[in-house]
Amino acid sequence: MMHTLRLRALSRRTALGALVAAAGLLALPGLSTGARAADDVFIPNIVELSGAGAVSGTNWRDGIILAVEELNAKGGILGKKLNVPHLDTQSDASIARAQVQKVMDDKPYVILGPVFSGSVLVTMTQAQQNEIPEIVGGEAAAITQKGNPFVFRTSFGQQASMPKIANYIRDGLKAKSVAVLWVNNDFGKGGRDNFMKEMQARDIKVVADVSTESGQVDFAADVVKLKNANADAVFVYTNEEESARFLKEARKQSLKGAMIGETTLLSQKVIELAGDAANGVKGHVGLSADAPVASLNEFGQKFKKRFNYANDHNAIKGYTAIYMIKAVTEKIGKFDSQAFAKALHGMTITPDKEPGILMEATWDQNGDIDRASFLGEVVNGQQKIVEVLPKIGK
Amino acid sequence: MSTPRILAWVAAAIAVAALLYAPMVLRSYGVYLLALWAVTTIAALGLNLTLGYAGQISLAQGAFVGLGAYFTALTTNAGLPYPLAFLGAGALTFAVGWCLGYPALRVQHHFLAFVTLAFTTLVFLLLRNEQWLTNGIYGINDIRRPTILGVATGRNVSFYYFALVMLALFTFVQWWILRSPWGRAFVALRENPLRAASLGVDVRRYTLMAFAIGSSFGGFAGALYAPLVQFIEPNSFQLTYSLKLLLMVLVGGAGHFMGPFFGAMIDLLLPEWLRFTQGYYLLIYAAMVVVLMIFCPKGIVGGFVILRDRLFKPAPVRRPDQPAGGTAAKPSA
């Protein structure tokens, strides 16, 4: 009797539940078929707004917001306003993929983001399948080595930045040995592999190879390993928050050897978080609001006024991405995704024709960017640019 | 047939019809999300069996989904037909789940949770560090979707129907397990292991079985997850994913048959509902889950049970030897 009652109760609950579940699934806003307003240009931004990539993603998003506000105030592109929603990947590649799948339903003109290389590698396949250009913030070398004609960078890939760092270590620091500390994610592993290759090519001995975790808090044991290695220079390649924690621990343990980084280690966010511990850090900077370039300085001031914090390189990447779209669209004279991708390959955009691009930039056949860059140093809590490196193609 | 029962059957028929009709009204992303819901529900069904019915806390279900997904991706890339890879993923996770069940014989509750947490970390490190096999942190991209009985599942709609059939199959399997002597043994194990043992239930065997079957559901879900998302990486199967599955079971209602269906729906679709709140959606989502757990600690289905009892409370069943006004036999939730 009890068993029968239990089964009846089970079947009632089962069925009632199934009904509510199904009704809920179908009542989702944004998932049902329906047309989007056609009087604007749909350029979705899929980016890391929470999770490990939130610092980079928020800067990227705010750079985009600034550019879109400026452009829409002037009437948009070719008379059409820009509609740029921001979708959070939660720093997870599978969610990034789902978000791209979602925006594809609305036939975007161009897609912006993500910044995390792993997410870029996943989403760029969808961009290619749908023949929609994707302007990304990722720096992993592999992104532009897969023959995808629809992916474009906004910053140097690791294959372009690591030779510059390697030359600096050999010629600028005259280091004979180096230790590497890297974050074991797709960004850090890719950078570490490229860096190792460049060190080998220059006969610089790598005396320590220390892998760290994304989100790691305690770097004490890693600094001990680096101290024991006694290298002339320590190359640090981790994300923003981890970089700051490492620098604090390195200062605490009086780690010797020049501290070298690539863009992130010298970024404004790391300097803010690490405080005095960031002083003395040197390295290559792809983009910086503190560079001796008037347009970059002006951008830095505008950004601070609008968002009340100092930007990092990701904000410049996001900002210039919007002006890339403007320059290419005005050149082709229409909103045609395929024509956009074709036109951008081999194209050079100069600040005299498009001031929003901030610095002259050229995109090659792989979607890699070529632009001047900088050698910098952190002095008294400020990033100081000591040398401007010309475009590789010059 | 009683009125609530008729209503229940009508509701079930409408629910099934709605799920079958959904691709006609949903766009590609909506269909993808529904397919993900079906796959995730299978994994949550397995955890519900281990946790909700057998009472064994596991923080390893995400790792089993990962094992199933990697096994399927690697073997199908090596040329193994998908059906064999699918069965292999289930068999592998059944065997590993059986082994993981051994600690459950010695430790219980939060100690068991720690053991399974360690297992999840171990699987993550294995997937990340053994680059020669798993492609390490870069993951495996462009996983092909299979052709099942001559039907290609490359399109989201085709894969959705495939996932829905699989969900129906695993729902039936679980229903069958629960109404079999095994199911009653699992519940006995959860309620009182000592009494279960005194009644002749082989505690050791059923504990291992609960882990193994629950884990294999995770493995099968992984075998569907890989071709659905077409990209897998170690980070996707970290502790966070196991916690998410645990949350689905608890929010839906642990130990309730329909719990995982609701839990998975809430976890996957609530963020979509809240998307209009921009940057606050994770905050609101977390707050809503906390409020739900405060007012409805037995999950959504637990809430339905209370509602049903108020609306259609069954008449007290009086045993012949029981005096009038005695305690009624209450159907177990």
What H or E segment, with its residue span, contains residue A377?
strand A373-379
Of the listed ranges A91-95, A341-345, B27-31, the one predicted with least confidence: A91-95
- Other Cβ atoms closer than 10 A to B142: 10
Instruction: Supply A177's token pair.
Output: 């040995």
Question: What is the CATH class of A40-156+293-371?
Answer: alpha beta
| CB–CB contacts below 8 A, A to B | 177
Q: Which residues 35-64 of A are in CB contact (within 8 Å) with B?
A: 49-50
Chain A interface test: which of B2, B233, B270 (most A C-beta within 10 Å)? B233
Q: Which long-range contacts (CB under 8 A, 24 or more apart) does B106-110 make?
A: B109/B57, B110/B57
- Asked if A31 lies within 8 A of B272 by C-beta distance, the reply is yes
Give the closest of B231, B235, B301 to A13, CB-based: B301
| Assigned CATH for A159-285 | 3.40.50.2300
Query: Pick the residue with more confidence: B89 or B188?
Result: B89
Q: How far apart are the first and last CA of chain A?
A: 88
Distance (Å) from the alpha carbon of A271 to chain B's nearest alpha carbon: 26
pLDDT of residue A162 exceeding 70: yes
Give CA–CA dist A268/A55, Å, rounded: 11
Query: Touching check for A98 and chain B: CB below 8 Å?
Result: yes
Identify the band that residue A98 occupies on the pLDDT scale cut at 50, 70 and 90: confident
- Residues in A touching B128 (Cβ below 8 Å): 184
Instruction: Supply B250's token pair.
Output: 């608890």
Give the closest of B26, B29, B331 to A6, CB-based: B331
- The whole-number pLDDT of residue B330 equals 39
pLDDT of residue B54 exceeding 70: yes
- Residues in B touching A20 (Cβ below 8 Å): 262
Query: Touching check for A14 and chain B: CB below 8 Å?
Result: yes
Identify the band that residue B323 occupies on the pLDDT scale cut at 50, 70 and 90: low
Q: Which residues 152-211 of A are in CB contact (within 8 Å) with B?
A: 184-186, 189
Burial B152-168 (b: 16+ CB within 10 A, else e): ebeebbbbbbbbbebbe
Instruction: Map tokens 């008729």 to a residue.
Output: B6
In this structure, the strands spanning A282-285 and A348-349 are: unpaired
- Residues in A touching B19 (Cβ below 8 Å): 22, 25
Identify the band that residue A29 occupies on the pLDDT scale cut at 50, 70 and 90: very low
- The whole-number pLDDT of residue A2 equals 44
Give the closest of A18, A185, A189 to B12, CB-based: A18
- Residues in A touching B5 (Cβ below 8 Å): 8, 11-12
- The whole-number pLDDT of residue B333 equals 37
Give the chain B residue whose CA is nearest to the CA of A86: B278
- Asked if A12 lies within 8 A of B308 by C-beta distance, the reply is yes
Q: Residue A352 — φ and ψ, nearest 5°? A: -70, -30
- The whole-number pLDDT of residue A24 equals 52
- The whole-number pLDDT of residue A35 equals 46
A91 close to A214: Cβ distance less than 8 angstroms:
no
Give CA–CA dist A120/A108, Å, rounded: 17
Give CA–CA dist B114/A163, Å, rounded: 45
- The whole-number pLDDT of residue A295 equals 93
SS3 state at A294: helix
Query: Pick the residue with more confidence: B39 or A17?
Result: B39
Cis preceding-peptide flag for A163 (omega within 30 of 0): no
- Residues in A touching B314 (Cβ below 8 Å): 5
- The whole-number pLDDT of residue B187 equals 86
B284-295 confidence digits (pLDDT tens) = 878 888 888 888
B266 close to B251: Cβ distance less than 8 angstroms:
yes
- Residues in A touching B269 (Cβ below 8 Å): 24-25, 28
B193-234 confidence digits (pLDDT tens) = 888 888 888 888 998 999 999 999 999 999 999 999 888 989
Give CA–CA dist B210/B56, Å, rounded: 8
Nearest alpha carbon to residue A322 among A27, A20, A63: A63
Chain B interface test: which of A1, A4, A10 (most B C-beta within 10 Å)? A10
**H helices, E strands: number in chain A:** 12, 17
Indicate the DSSP class of residue B48.
I
- The whole-number pLDDT of residue A140 equals 85
Q: For the residues B271-300, what does the mean pLDDT come to?
A: 80
Distance (Å) from the alpha carbon of A228 to chain B's nearest alpha carbon: 25
- Residues in B touching A50 (Cβ below 8 Å): 282
Distance (Å) from the alpha carbon of B207 to chain A's nearest alpha carbon: 23
Give the closest of B11, B28, B262 to A105, CB-based: B28
Give the closest of A17, A24, A31 to B29, CB-based: A31
Give the closest of B11, B25, B229 to A33, CB-based: B25
- Residues in B touching A104 (Cβ below 8 Å): 28-29
SS3 sequence of A138-207: CCCHHHHCCCCCCEEECCCCHHHHHHHHHHHHHHHCCCCEEEEEEECCHHHHHHHHHHHHHHHHCCCEEE
Do A40-156+293-371 and A159-285 agree at the fold level? yes
Residue B271 C-alpha from the chain's centroid: 19
- Residues in A touching B37 (Cβ below 8 Å): 25
Identify the band that residue A331 occupies on the pLDDT scale cut at 50, 70 and 90: very high
Nearest alpha carbon to residue A314 among A153, A168, A158, A193: A153
Return the bridge partners of B172, or none: none
- Residues in B touching A120 (Cβ below 8 Å): none
Give CA–CA dist A205/B214, Å, rounded: 51
Give CA–CA dist B214/B220, Å, rounded: 10
Chain B interface test: which of A4, A87, A111, A122 (most B C-beta within 10 Å)? A122
The conformational region for residue A231 under phi > 0 = left, psi -120 to 50 = alpha, else beta, is beta
Amino acid at residue number A230: N
Q: For the residues B133-147, what does the mean pLDDT come to?
A: 90
Instruction: Report ipTM (2 d.p.).
Output: 0.74
Distance (Å) from the alpha carbon of B229 to chain A's nearest alpha carbon: 7
The conformational region for residue A263 under phi > 0 = left, psi -120 to 50 = alpha, else beta, is left
A33-59 confidence digits (pLDDT tens) = 444 556 899 999 999 998 878 889 999
A267-313 confidence digits (pLDDT tens) = 888 999 999 999 999 999 988 887 888 999 999 999 999 999 988 88
Indicate the DSSP class of residue B51.
I
Amino acid at residue number B131: Q
SS3 state at A256: coil
Distance (Å) from the alpha carbon of A21 to chain B's nearest alpha carbon: 6
Give the closest of A2, A50, A122 to B331, CB-based: A2
- The whole-number pLDDT of residue A142 equals 85
Chain A interface test: which of B7, B27, B128 (most A C-beta within 10 Å)? B27
Instruction: Supply B324's token pair.
Output: 């009038």
- The per-residue DSSP string of A321-351 comes to HHHHHHHHHHHHTS--HHHHHHHHTT-EE-T
Indicate the average pLDDT of chain A: 88
Q: For the residues B300-328, what does the mean pLDDT come to?
A: 65
Each domain of chain A, given as residue ranges in start order, spans: 40-156+293-371, 159-285
Give the closest of A2, A19, A30 to B275, CB-based: A30
- Asked if B304 lies within 8 A of A22 by C-beta distance, the reply is no
Residues in contact with B78: Cβ distance below 8 Å, sequence separation at least 6, in sequence order? none
